[in-house]
Amino acid sequence: MIIRPRRLRGSETLRKMVRETRMDKSSLIYPLFVKEGEGIQEEIPSMVGQNRYSIDKLPYELERLSKAGVGSVMLFGIPDVKDEVASQAYAEDGIVQKALRAAKREFPDLYYITDVCLCEYTSHGHCGMLCGHEVENDSTLELLAKTALSHVEAGADMVAPSDMMDGRVLAIRNMLDDAGHKETPIMSYAVKYASAFYGPFRDAAGSAPAFGDRKSYQMDFHNSREGIKEALLDVEEGADIIMVKPALSYLDMITKVHDVTDVPVAAYSVSGEYAMVKAAAQNGWIDEDRIICEMAASTYRAGAQIYLTYFAKELAKFMDEGRIG
Ligand code: PBG
């Protein structure tokens, strides 16, 4: 035998030398839930270890992230009041807007990205305006753009629309540009599937649709070429980063989007992925730490440059320890 693949697996030093996928803490983004009220740090039942924070408690978590070396967060807001037109999504004193001002004051060095969507703010839980039971595309665009602008004016460094309405990246880009925010990047949740993996998140944010489902706007998980279409469209509309979501069951899409676009690709390991790992680990059925590392490495290996994950702090630690990276 001349070629023996095992030669390069003989020691830890050699295995690390020939590693094809390398990861860095600077590519991690941690999703964070902020809610109205005071003195609140409440655990999300379906996401053991993840919390909802009121604004006064937020700095404690930001401090932990900062210490762990996780430099970027994605903020989600949970308002007190919901209505038909999602008023709190774009209110100047909305929960995300207030949280941004406070967080930027105390931790100006962190990078703040906001999820731009209406579902947490509408009484019906859909991501857009309703006409009867239809989610209307075009009348939603203005509200999404207003929401993005209000986030940026409150201090967001980047906005990330997750609603899956057609044309929203362009609508947001135009409104930001008109207001002088030409340099604020947009990370589009372009390749977002109608997925049962979002179950725990809807618990966390109280954003489950009151009727029907999201299949008229999020993508059918049987489709791959449609995901490419969405990604290319959003790049044309001005998206600076394209996200694939969920991550674990959609690694093929990460690779494809990476191959057909020339923008950075992000992948979001969503709440259901987190909950499955936690539940199995609590039962002693899997080795949680090793699973976290393997899920992350496979996502980067598929082509992601940016990884959104509820395990960001753990991963940062594993990277420091050289267990992964
Ligand atoms: C808002 C939004 C959702 C998630 C991110 N942004 C929920 C949904 O689309 O129903 C899911 C995140 C997760 O499950 O961790 N539209």
Q: Which entry of 245, 256, 278, 313 is annotated as an active-site residue?
A: 245
- Cα 279 to Cα 228: distance, rounded to the nearest angstrom: 33
At 325 the pLDDT is 86
Domain ranges of the chain: 26-241
In tens digits, the chain (325 residues) has pLDDT values of: 999 999 999 999 999 999 999 999 999 999 999 999 999 999 999 999 999 999 999 999 999 999 999 999 999 999 999 999 999 999 999 999 999 999 999 999 999 999 999 999 999 999 999 999 999 999 999 999 999 999 999 999 999 999 999 999 999 999 999 999 999 999 999 999 999 999 999 989 999 999 999 999 999 999 999 999 999 999 999 999 999 999 999 999 999 999 999 999 999 999 999 999 999 999 999 999 999 999 999 999 999 999 999 999 999 999 999 999 8
Query: Top-level CATH class of 26-241?
Result: alpha beta
Residue owning the nearest CA to atom 8 of ligand 1: 198
pLDDT confidence of residue 203: 87
- Beta-carbon contacts of residue 306 (< 8 Å; ≥ 6 apart): 27, 29, 241, 243, 264, 265, 266, 267
| Closest ligand 1 atom to Cα of 120 | 1
From the list 217, 104, 211, 82, the residue with the least C-alpha distance to 155 is 104
Question: 64: part of which helix (H) or strand (E)?
Answer: helix 58-68
pTM higher than 0.75, yes or no?
yes
Where are any strands of DSSP class E within the chain? 28-35, 41-44, 47-54, 72-78, 111-116, 129-131, 134-136, 158-161, 187-192, 241-245, 265-269, 306-309
User: Token pair for residue 75?
Assistant: 């903020």
First to last CA, the chain: 32
- Does the C-beta of 117 come closer than 6 Å to ligand 1? yes
- Residue 25: active-site member: no
Whether 127 lines ligand 1, by a CB cut-off of 6 Å, is yes
Q: Which atom of ligand 1 lies nearest, measured to the CA of 200?
A: 14
pLDDT for the residue numbered 75: 98
Are 157 and 113 in contact, with CB atoms under 8 Å apart? yes
pLDDT for 244: 98
Q: Distance (Å, rounded) from C-alpha 263 to C-alpha 241? A: 6
Q: Which candidate, 107, 168, 158, 104, places its Cα nearest to that of 135?
A: 168
Rounded to the nearest angstrom, the distance between the alpha carbon of 127 and the centre of ligand 1 is: 10
- Catalytic residue (choose from 57, 82, 146, 192): 192
Phi, psi of 75 (to 5 degrees): -95, 135
